[in-house]
Structure 1
Amino acid sequence: MEPTPPTPPPQPPEPPRPGAPAAYQAPGPYTSPGMPYTAAPGPYGPHGPYGPPRATTNGLAVGSLVSGIVCCLPPLGLVLGIFSLRQIGKRGQGGKGMAIAGIALSSISTLLVVLGLITGQIQEGVRAFNEGMREAASARMPMELRTGECFVDEAGQGEYTLGVRVVDCDEPHDGEITGRFEATGFDAWPGERELTELGEERCETMATAYVRDTWSLTADSLSLYYTPDRRSWRAGEHRIACGIGGEERLTGSLRSDASTLDAGQLAFLTHVNPVEDALYAEPEDEPEDDLQANLAWAADVRAAVDSARSGLRGRTWEQSARGPVGAYLKSLDAASKQWAKLAAAEDAEAFWDAYDRAWELVPDEASSEARKALGLTHTPPEGPGEHDSV
């Protein structure tokens, strides 16, 4: 098959003769009859196939509205709104409504900020916010606290706590941690009663070791304990936290153990505290009801006094404390004789005859002077005696 010869290129039209009339101007590329667009510079006409371009939204107007809504830096929203109106007018952009709304909201917010600064509400709000952040950061479970840390517990006594707030011990607080221990020996959840009894026993011992200077305690001082509930126990929390506090909030730490006492202070309290413990163990029954229990108590007190006498005399005291400690020892000598007489009473009447004098010889004043010389609390606590003379 022979190849088809190529189509010769079209010949340019002949130029019109001078003076001859021309029905049409020289044709452009798209002026042939039947073409969809006439007199167009491009294939889609003057605006393209989708009509004229849409006007854009002014960015400053958007920023002004956002600043006015969130109330952060309200003057910024006001400035952005004013500038956006100028740009919208010049550029034919959209967003005029947003700019006006942003100016209005920012103006209100700016006015509120000014009023807040004048009245102090802004500063108060900032302080409250910072306080809340500090509280949230310091909220912890009691079992996580270290020995010696003080805390505030908003839960009432006997109520479950969701966490305590750690504070400096110089600030008012509900208690301070005296220690913690693991509740062992249980294969399953032992129950609240069992853990409560364990907490009472062990935490009392920890409180005694933590506060050796017992005169720093008040009449409403309490031994505290925090036990895990059933859910916490099943999650693996078996610790019991111990603390000491009071009915009213405390200020200052009560800690007075080997980590805070010097050698002289620790020696004095080691020998004297058993006397106080024996005095506080006075029976609830009157000697008429249980004479033997009261006689045994008096004998225990006399034994504690004699032990203190021996221990205090066996130590060489600092020069500043020798005189006060010596005077205290003389008071203990007199007390020992009277408590021995009380422990040997033949009946309830003889017991009462010796009772008041025995308490009078408990050397509070002499002990106060010795404590003062050693740098301990020297204000006597409330007397532990419960019996009245007859």
Structure 2
Amino acid sequence: MSIPPPPDPQVPPTQGPEGPAPLPQAPFNPYAPPSPSPYAPYPQAAPAPQGPPSPYGPQPYQTWGQGYSPYNNPAPLNGMSVAALVLGILCCIPGVGLVLGLIALNQIKKRGERGRSMAAAGMVLSAFGLMVWVLGVTGAATGFWDDVKDSARNNTSASPVKGECFDAPSGSLEGMAYDFDVVSCADEHDGEVFAVVPLSGGTYPGDKKVTATADDRCYALEDSYAMDGWAVPDDVDIYYVTPTEDSWSFGDREITCVFGNTDAEASLPGGSLRNDATTLDSDQVAYLKAAHVLNAALDSAPDAQYVEDDLPGHKAWAGRVSAALTKQADLLDGHQWIDGSDRQVGDLVKDLRAAQKEWAKAARASDADEFYAHYDKGADLIDPQKSVTARKALGLATTPPSYDRDDSGGESGGDSGGMEV
């Protein structure tokens, strides 16, 4: 008798020797829960209990239960952040949006509210508006201060530049000058600027020192602008515009040297007094440069009017004139005259060399009488009339001034003391 083998644990009990037994079939229900797998190694959980059948037929999904929402409730929006953004966009009150943005960020952090990006944007816009406002205020303040300084300068010593002619609003070149009206030199005018002297220093040196500097420098610079002193009319005087203590504090550091009428209330006729290298030819400039050497020496006469009062001083002065005459004659001899004036200039040179000998003897005089003897001869040889022929040949002015600065001869122009404007 044979013993059948034990059943295979992997074969379901419903399976016969001929194969699996057919299972009863149920109608297919697409909404029915899935059947447990006959091969599941572990028991499956029981299906969840079904609710009552829906009057609308089977439902594929369960409806939401009470206390649950398909959407999360959003956090509230912070009001400060909105205000910060609005004020930042409008920029009507610079800085307020920046403050509100900081408050909003602090509240958002504590309360968990929304609006961080709005607060940040408002802060940025407000900061930009604040910067623009500050720059605008600073620029306006700077412009205002510049206007104040310009006004102060204009109200103290606003002067035209070298070569310009002007009218004084008051009609006078005396007293305080507040401004000047620049006009054409071809028309009648109150003054003509012939030099500008720069000053330096941090502290105002005082009215007396500034005036003394102006007096010295303006007279020394006259010849550089009007080289031919004979061409300057006798009724022309020297004036100058100097800084005041107020204008000095605003950076005014210039002395303006001016030609004006000897009558401060009168005007100058039309036409510029300028005659220098910009208006003269090379022969004229060469002649006038040589003449200025002698003029400078003659202007260095001692203060004592009489020789008896300062014989040593007059002898030293005569020595300077003698040296200047030698230099003047050498300059004229060394120039190549291209306008046919060499003969007339040569005759003048002879007089200059003869005059040099007399001035040299005066410089060695033992007493006042001997000094006067040689001085008179030397002065006659350099009398202005001696140079009229050469001047005419060169096309320069031929009418000597009516009086000289020091009454000592030569070709010095006639000028009286300058007046401060």
TM over 0.5: yes
> Which of the numbers 314, 317, 324 marks the counterpart of 2:344?
324
Report the AA paired with residue 393 of structure 2.
A
Once residues 196 and 218 of structure 1 are traced to their aligned partners in structure 2, the CA distance between those partners, rounded to angstroms, is: 25
| Correspondence 1:375 to 2:395 | yes
Correspondence for 1:269:
288
| Correspondence 1:346 to 2:362 | no
Once residues 311 and 292 of structure 1 are traced to their aligned partners in structure 2, the CA distance between those partners, rounded to angstroms, is: 29
Report the AA paired with residue 162 of structure 1.
Y
Tell whether the 8 Å contact from 1:328 to 1:363 is kept in structure 2 after alignment.
no
CA-atom RMSD in angstroms: 2.5
- The alpha-carbon distance between structure 1 residues 349 and 366, as it changes in their structure 2 partners (threshold 3 A), is closer
Cα deviation per residue 1:351-375 (whole Å; 9 max; x = unaligned)?
Answer: 1222322211114233111112112
Deviation, structure 1 residue 143: 4.1
| Correspondence 1:213 to 2:210 | no
Once residues 273 and 182 of structure 1 are traced to their aligned partners in structure 2, the CA distance between those partners, rounded to angstroms, is: 24
- The alpha-carbon distance between structure 1 residues 141 and 257, as it changes in their structure 2 partners (threshold 3 A), is farther
Write out aligned runs for 1:298-337 (5 A). 298-337=318-357
| Correspondence 1:197 to 2:194 | no
Cα deviation per residue 1:322-369 (whole Å; 9 max; x = unaligned)?
Answer: 121111112112211222222221101111222322211114233111
| Correspondence 1:244 to 2:254 | no
Once residues 335 and 363 of structure 2 are traced to their aligned partners in structure 1, the CA distance between those partners, rounded to angstroms, is: 29
Give the aligned length. Answer: 249
| Correspondence 1:254 to 2:273 | yes
SS for the counterpart of 1:166 is strand
Tell whether the 8 Å contact from 2:159 to 2:241 is kept in structure 1 after alignment.
no
Specify which structure has the higher proportion of helix.
Answer: 1
| Correspondence 1:163 to 2:201 | no
Correspondence for 2:375:
355
Once residues 186 and 155 of structure 2 are traced to their aligned partners in structure 1, the CA distance between those partners, rounded to angstroms, is: 19
> Which of the numbers 273, 276, 282 marks the counterpart of 2:301?
282
Once residues 383 and 339 of structure 2 are traced to their aligned partners in structure 1, the CA distance between those partners, rounded to angstroms, is: 21
Correspondence for 1:296:
316
Q: Choose between structure 1 and 2 for higher RCO, CA contacts under 8 A separated by at least 6 residues.
A: 2
Write out aligned runs for 1:6-85 (5 A). none
The unaligned stretches of length 5 or more in structure 1 are 1-138
Cα deviation per residue 1:252-296 (whole Å; 9 max; x = unaligned)?
Answer: 221112222211111111111121222233323211111011111
Higher Rg of the two aligned structures: 2
Correspondence for 1:30:
none
Deviation, structure 1 residue 218: 4.1
TM-score normalised by L of structure 2: 0.54
| Correspondence 1:174 to 2:167 | no
The unaligned stretches of length 5 or more in structure 2 are 1-153, 410-421
Tell whether the 8 Å contact from 2:159 to 2:179 is kept in structure 1 after alignment.
no
SS for the counterpart of 1:266 is helix
Deviation, structure 1 residue 198: 2.4
Tell whether the 8 Å contact from 2:157 to 2:178 is kept in structure 1 after alignment.
no
Tell whether the 8 Å contact from 1:150 to 1:167 is kept in structure 2 after alignment.
yes
Once residues 399 and 297 of structure 2 are traced to their aligned partners in structure 1, the CA distance between those partners, rounded to angstroms, is: 20
